[in-house]
Chains A and B, each alone.
Chain A
Amino acid sequence: MTAWLGPEEWQAVALSLKVSFWATVLSLPVGLLCALALARGRFVGRDVLNWLVHLPLVLPPVVTGYLLLLSFGRRGPIGSVLYDLFGITLAFQWTGAALAASIMAFPLMVRAMRLAIEAVDPRLEEAAATLGASRITVFRTVTLPLILPGIIAGAVLAFAKAMGEFGATITFVSNIPGETRTVPSAIYAFLQVPGGESAALRLVAVAVIIAIGALILSEWLSRRVARRISGT
């Protein structure tokens, strides 16, 4: 792979993998909570939450990226607090790229998890409670095992989406080689210079392979969740 990809291209692939990995891992617990709240919760503001979660799906990515820059930039309302209290900067850092990717991938992740949760028969959870399981134990021993393939499918989809995120990333964290130049940004950069087409094509191939692999994996996992819940 290193022989086939030049060092710059390899750097972009490695960075993309790192950004997408952290974007996925860190948004998993939040995504699961949101999916649970949306699937099961009966609270005021549920519609607002649903709307917020889905917003990155319909907003132009550049707008999302710019909003991130406004709020998480060094002088933004959240960014300044993070910097003053913890010394954390997100703008123009790979961590910022991870944040942008996770926000863009969030709707897909929550959707997959929510579908899995909604497919769980609440009557099974009732039965578990009558057998002496507290609410947390019911979740741990019945709900979670039944939705696990859905969670993994959501994570895989989110990972694939994070790998391909471009608009919000480039707006929020720019296109700095080795720091924020992910695969899509690198393809864009290569296409801006004469003679960059072959490097761009190689990265395109990598992106296609990862995307197709993720789709197949997530499809296979969704089918498993369906089978597991129907018990066949």
Chain B
Amino acid sequence: MSLSVDITRSLGGFRLQAAFDAPDGVTVLFGRSGSGKTSIVKSIAGLIAPDAGRIALKGRALFDRAKAVDVPVHKRRLGYVFQDSRLFPHLSVRENLCYAARVSGRGARNPDEVGDLLGILHLLDRRTHALSGGEAQRVAIGRALLSEPDILLMDEPLASLDGPRKAEILPYLETLQRKTGLSILYVTHNMAEVARLATHIVLIDEGRVIRSGAPDELLTDPDMVRQLGIRDAGAVLSATVSARPVDGLSELAISGGHLFLPAIDAPVGAALRVRILAQDVILARTRPEGISALNILPVRVLAVRRGEGPGVIVQLQAGDDRLLARITRRSADALAIVEGAECYAVMKSVAVSQTDIAVGLQSGL
């Protein structure tokens, strides 16, 4: 267990009462804005003090009210990537990257390896004001990494960036975790980032942890759909590239069969994670024929959840994986979609966007 948190903090009318463990890998704190995620991360970093409780990192107590332990920020050995990059304006990129090594004994002096990993080597001698938002954020990540932290805290690191810039940084984050093996606590309210990065999810609402678990289990839990947002509901599947792309489509093997998706830039055998949104899944009782959709998986209905609206959420078993489908209540009744029913899940290949495919990260580590 890499990080363990059990804290309470009251401020005004807001009460934070959070207890969770973050295993090695990428733990995502997911919740709406104002749900208390940032307060949790700031407490871990020591930038704000909880009223009570305990925070331990790799067995080392950072904060323990009962034992009067409160390690000062600079001795907590953690990297913090803020929403805004917070680069030092009076220092060059290189000086920013090497700041930790300069001010404390720990930290790497040579920025080359991390710089290469983040694609910022060509920026080393620039002044920080000459950087784009995406570049500045990558330098900020590099600066935190070079302090050789025990854990990397990332507080909505992509929130201030526009779509293309986000897409530019996400692959770096995936590579980062794979190559360094560093534990990351990642705060976001963006489901796409959760689906791509999380190996463990902690769901926060109104200052409390309402659920935590592995993404394949938590994201396909129909009871969680309301919390996660109905439009963003969807499963994250582990897949392997099984054939080279033919006419623009890659073939992927998943536990329940094969998927054809728009060509993915990964070698045969590469492990991927693919996000399939519930609203992109169609259900059929018999194997459909003469249909343009290429992906047809035999599935069994595990659960059906009716809400107040016209839709229902159907949880499906496909091989070892679980899927979610969102269909209308009328269709569910007409097709007799009930628990235990055998049917077929149909997905258009082009429904899965490239930004929903992560290379190199297995879900549910």
Contacts and interface: CB of A to CB of B under 8 A. Distances in A.
Interface of A: 121, 123-124, 126-134, 137, 141-142, 145-146, 228-232
Interface in B157-199: none
B99 interface: yes
B90 A130 contact: no
A133 B104 contact: yes
What is the interface residue range for chain B against chain A? 20 to 34
A131 B104 contact: yes
A137 B103 CA distance: 7
A131 B147 contact: yes
B298 interface: no
Where chain A touches its partner, the secondary structure class is helix
Contacts, number: 78
Interface string B65-80: 0000000111111111
Given A124-B88, A130-B80, A131-B147, A232 B73 contact: no
A228 B99 contact: no
Contacts of A137: 74, 103-104
The list of the 8 closest CB pairs from A to B, nearest first, reads A231-B89, A132-B104, A231-B129, A130-B80, A129-B73, A127-B86, A133-B103, A131-B100
Contacts of A146: 89-90
Interface in B47-99: 47, 72-80, 82, 84, 86-90, 99
B102 interface: yes
A224 to B, nearest CB: 11
A180 to B, nearest CB: 42
Contacts of B75: 132
Given A127-B82, A146-B90, 12 more contacts: A126-B47, A126-B86, A129-B72, A129-B73, A130-B73, A130-B79, A130-B147, A131-B74, A133-B74, A137-B74, A137-B104, A145-B90
A132 B100 contact: yes
